[in-house]
Structure 1
Amino acid sequence: MDWVRGEAIGHGSFGRVSLAVPRNQSTQVMVVKSSSASLSDTLMNEKLILDEIKGCPQIINCLSDSYTYENGEKLYNVLLEYASGGALSEKLKNSGDRKLPEFEIRRYTKALLKGLHYIHKCGYVHCDIKPQNILLGEDGEVKIADFGLAKRAESHDNLRCELRGTPLYMSPEMVTAGEQDTPADIWALGCVIAELAAGVPVWKYTDLTQLLMKIGVGDELPEFPAKLSEEGKDFLEKCFVKDPRKRWTAEMLLKHSFIANQDDTVTLNDERCMSGTPTTSPRCPFDFPDWVSDDSAESTVTCPITSLPSPAIQELMNYNGGSWSTEPAERLRELLVGETRPKLSDWSAADGWVSVR
């Protein structure tokens, strides 16, 4: 596809994001993600995965890729469909009280689950579900985006010594054991839902060590928004199960009464509240009859972290002799040893962050 680059609209650890149009058709707007060809592993990974999982309406569509030479540099470019509604994080930030009404949350949740179910069925884990990576189309339809950190499910080779994704949305098993499979996406989904309802991330923290300790050690769970319905709280309980083997799957959650009766055709401008008699929510897996824009991080809890920086990763590994401890509590306890623990102020600047692979 022959195309023309437009204005820059964002950037990430991989490179920059710009608007683009086909050279001979100025009415079609696209998005192009570009990086130096020598540093394009993340973008190439995203392109390969999007090609394999194409066809799901809840996943951003990849149009093509290409190499270009600009200002003496060879760039790798991935062309994506343009989601004109922006990121869900922006919608949340721009809402009146920085939180969304429950009928909208239910609708978004159902669409996200459809996308996650498709991703998992195709054999992949997204690894970085968060409001910044959930885009909205012109009519408010959900589009899961940014698959640069995605990986094959049950693929653990060479991953045990690395954290993958965004700390605020990491699952306990990722923090304590470096394990990230499909249940990790469900934990992150719960974090997103709670944040949409409360207007702030689920964890309060002062530094990276404190955050990881909260997630990985003990029985503490994210706080449920007080105004969320009992159905919503029950839904979150199914997402926030410490043991990933007992956490509900996307397929199971699609049958939960919190979202089972939601109408996917409702647009962003529809102000009516979702109604209808809810079905009884299954209480355990055996109750089912059949189975078939980049935001800069800030030091406040009102803005999600966008990525875990490589200096923090190295700091964590240094406390463990270059590798993760085999005992989760011991591994995280070691983070508290020493006088130079990684503080939030040390890694809050987005310009210094890189994707953690």
Structure 2
Amino acid sequence: MEWIRGEEIGRGGFAWINLAIPNKNLAGLPPLIAVKSCDLSHSATLGNELEVLQSLGECPHVIRCFGAGQTIEGGSELFNLLLEYAPGGSLANEMRKRGGKLTEPEVRRHARSVLEALRHIHSHGIVHGDIKVQNILVFPPVDRCGCPEVKVADFGLAREAGCTIRPHKGEDEDEDEDEDKDGEEHRGFEWRGTPLYMSPEAVNDNEYEAPSDVWALGCAVVEMATGRPAWSHPDGANVYSLMIRIGLGDETPIIPHDLSEEGKDFLRKCFVRDPTKRWTAEMLLNHPFVACKKDCQFVSPPHSPSPRTHFDFTDWNSSIQSSTISTQSSLVTSPREFWQGKSEFGSFNNYDHHGSDSPIERIHNLACDTRPDFEDSESLWITVR
């Protein structure tokens, strides 16, 4: 497959994400996609993500994967994962734009969407392993409600349910000391995922199964409703003190006092410390808090100097600041074409999406009657989000 690499929209410890446009109008591919890339030598995590997404198939609330490919750029051999592009960025970014938190009807709707994704994921014998607002992506509304849709993304830590986790060194261990995503090795085993979202059984027994995803969803719901993490943990504080609070005793995250009784009861079902008694995603989909999609009463975010559509501009800057790279990529049908045997599970860092100015020429091309000629490697483009 041939595609054009555009502006970078995110970067982690060992991988980065660019916008990209397929060079040819291939059936089933949207005109704009996201490409997650890394050095081929560090591609175990992206390979795992590819394998998991291929095994999951289609689900309206799981990010779509269009395959993967290998390129040589700047003398480096890269592995590229081709993914659905989320114009709204992450739910964490959406919350920041909205002042930090969402309305309860929005929380209900997004919680249901994530539950539908988890039901699909768990029914295929997969555990996501890193549910959090940073890994929930925002898409345009699909109904008259006007509330954005969300999908679960970032399956780099996902694995088969029931598999034993073996300690290993992360791919980017020497490059990124961020404890939020890389597992922390401790007493012969490895903590995986994000500490603020970890379940008691994950801390105590290194157990990462479907109930851990439900616990993490509860933490995400608290954060959506309050704009704050479910656990109070000052920046820079020792992460081990947080692990002790989560793993020992009977403490659970504080349930927001201004949440409806339905919402409070929903969270109690998510925060049952015994994973065998915790409600499943299937059970929670029948809970009154999310059982029916109520009107979202969506509140549009205030005007931002970083526009999301070409109607949002207040100033027009005709200087073009990004260039394109014409990239020929051989589509991969299976990650096993690149590595033999069972892949290890690496780690992947958060992506902070950022906006950019767009030239008036680009807007003109988008508005003209004919489709812009992206075949021309000399043409310059930049995406309006």
Structure 1 Cα separation of the partners of residues 14 and 108 of structure 2: 32
Q: Of 186, 194, 208, which residue of structure 1 is paired with 2:222?
A: 194
Tell me the matched-pair count. 273
Structure 2 Cα separation of the partners of residues 186 and 62 of structure 1: 24
1:105 aligns with 2:107: yes
Structure 2 Cα separation of the partners of residues 214 and 93 of structure 1: 27
**Counterpart residue number, 1:165:** 193
Q: Of 36, 46, 49, which residue of structure 1 is paired with 2:49?
A: 46
Deviation at 1:269, TM superposition (A): 6.3
Q: Of 121, 124, 136, which residue of structure 2 is paired with 1:122?
A: 124
Structure 2 Cα separation of the partners of residues 137 and 269 of structure 1: 15
Secondary structure of 2:8's partner? strand
Secondary structure of 2:86's partner? coil
Deviation at 1:210, TM superposition (A): 1.3
What is the one-letter code of the residue matched to 1:18?
A: N
Does the 8 A contact of 1:222 with 1:240 survive in 2? yes
What is the one-letter code of the residue matched to 2:12?
A: G
Deviation at 1:158, TM superposition (A): 2.0
Deviation at 1:156, TM superposition (A): 1.4
Q: Of 79, 82, 91, which residue of structure 2 is paired with 1:79?
A: 82
Deviations along 1:36-67, whole A, 9 cap, x unmatched?
A: 00110000000011001021010000012100
Structure 2 Cα separation of the partners of residues 85 and 255 of structure 1: 28
**Counterpart residue number, 1:343:** none
Deviation at 1:12, TM superposition (A): 1.8
1:32 aligns with 2:35: yes
Does the 8 A contact of 1:30 with 1:79 survive in 2? yes
Deviations along 1:85-131, whole A, 9 cap, x unmatched?
A: 111001111113x1110000000011110000000000000000000
1:225 aligns with 2:227: no
Structure 1 Cα separation of the partners of residues 132 and 199 of structure 2: 12
Deviation at 1:24, TM superposition (A): 3.0
- When normalised by structure 2's length, the TM-score is 0.68
**Counterpart residue number, 1:234:** 265
Secondary structure of 1:86's partner? coil
Name the CA shift for 1:145/1:74 in 2 (closer, same or farther; >3 Å). Answer: same
**Counterpart residue number, 2:161:** 153
- When normalised by structure 1's length, the TM-score is 0.73
Deviations along 1:297-327, whole A, 9 cap, x unmatched?
A: xxxxxxxxxxxxxxxxxxxxxxxxxxxxxxx
**Counterpart residue number, 2:231:** 203
Structure 2 Cα separation of the partners of residues 93 and 237 of structure 1: 26
What is the one-letter code of the residue matched to 2:122?
A: H
1:216 aligns with 2:247: yes
Does the 8 A contact of 1:14 with 1:40 survive in 2? no
Deviations along 1:167-211, whole A, 9 cap, x unmatched?
A: 110000001111100000000000000011111001112320111
- 5+ residue gaps, structure 2, are 142-147, 168-187, 302-349, 354-385
- 5+ residue gaps, structure 1, are 272-292, 297-357
**Counterpart residue number, 1:5:** 5
Q: Comparing both chains, which one has the higher relative contact order based on Cα–Cα distances under 8 Å and sequence gaps of 6 or more?
A: 2
**Counterpart residue number, 1:144:** 152
1:260 aligns with 2:278: no
- Higher radius of gyration, 1 or 2: 2
